[in-house]
Structure 1
Amino acid sequence: MQQKEFTVTCRGRGLVDITNRIRDWVAETQVKTGLCHVFIHHTSASLILSENADPDVCADLERFMARLVPDGDPLFEHVAEGEDDMPAHIRSVLTRSDLTIPVTGGQLALGTWQGIWLWEHRYQAHQRRITVTVQGS
């Protein structure tokens, strides 16, 4: 089993494609068959597996989530860090804090249009910490 931690700089709310960073590291591990586990160490950002070919997908996801969990909703009491504080936590709960992807032939076994995305749910820029664990033979 091999593990690596890295940080991703997010300029604020939106999606950051981290596929290549993970793909490159999986290749370095020389694991031919196994699993790649990706974990984010935060409660106001998440990980998703989504289309990576059309940027409209990211924009549509943002619009959908804005409708589902609006910033500044008077329902929320937890606003210690601003109107996007509790919505960011809810968005994170509705998505994922980890992903597991098969490793086949020494590569991530992603579908043709799949990419691994860090989804920042806060307006302000943040450094997000990711741990990637690869196990197999």
Structure 2
Amino acid sequence: MQTWSKTLTVATPGRGTTDISARVQAVVERSGVQQGLCNVFIHHTSASLIVCENADPQVREDLERFMARLIPDGDPILGHVDEGPDDMPSHVRSVLTATTLTFPVSRGRVPLGTWQGIYLWEHRRAGHGRKVTVTVQGETRMAR
């Protein structure tokens, strides 16, 4: 069994989604693992990871509008505002989504569905450099 890990820095333009599918696939391919597991972990509490529709960007825009309605910036019930009115809403969004995702590795790739993509979802208004660690474990040769 082999383990391979790579930490990526992902620049986000601000609130919204950034497709990291190709970068995750590249780490899996470089690992040499043919079958096993791929774990993707974000090192932040105000951004998250999602698997989402990759063909129509309207889906991700709709998700953003849904979250804005569910957890509006500056909501008076939220007291933690150390970094501004989007501070606590970004933490709530992160808790409601995921900070880690695990995928199977098959034939040296993460076998995403036709309409699936792996996205980093930035919850802060300003852009950030986010750290994401991709860890791949498994066999370097296909089992017979």
What are the equivalent positions in structure 2 for 1:122-133 lying under 5 Å apart?
122-133=124-135
Is 1:29–2:26 an aligned residue pair? no
- Structural mapping, 1:2-81, within 5 Å: 2-81=4-83
Q: SS at 1:65's partner residue?
A: helix
Rounded Cα–Cα distance in structure 2 between residues aligned with 1:116 and 1:136: 21
TM-score, scaled to structure 1: 0.98
Deviation, structure 1 residue 110: 1.0
Query: How many residue pairs are counted as aligned between the two chains?
Result: 137
Aligned match for 1:85, one of 87, 108, 112? 87
Question: Equivalents in 2 of 1:53, 1:101: separation in Å?
Answer: 20
> Deviation of residue 25 (structure 1)?
1.4
Two-structure CA RMSD over aligned residues (Å): 0.6
Q: Radius of gyration: which is bigger?
A: 2
Superposition misfits of 4+ residues, deviation over 4 angstroms: none
Residue ranges of structure 2 left out of the alignment (5+ in a row): 140-144
Rounded Cα–Cα distance in structure 2 between residues aligned with 1:113 and 1:27: 21
1:117 aligns with 2:126: no
Partner of 1:103: 105
State the alpha-carbon separation in 1 of the partners of residues 54 and 30 from structure 2: 23
Supply the distance in 2 between the matched residues of 1:70 and 1:38 (Cα, whole angstroms). Answer: 28
User: 1:92-135 deviations in whole A, cap 9, x for unaligned?
Assistant: 00000000010001111111111100000000111100000000
Please tell me the residue identity of whatever aligns with 1:45: A
Per the alignment, in what secondary structure is the counterpart of residue 119 of structure 2? strand
Identity %: 61
1:40 Cα shift? 0.2
Cα drift, residue 29 of structure 1 = 1.1
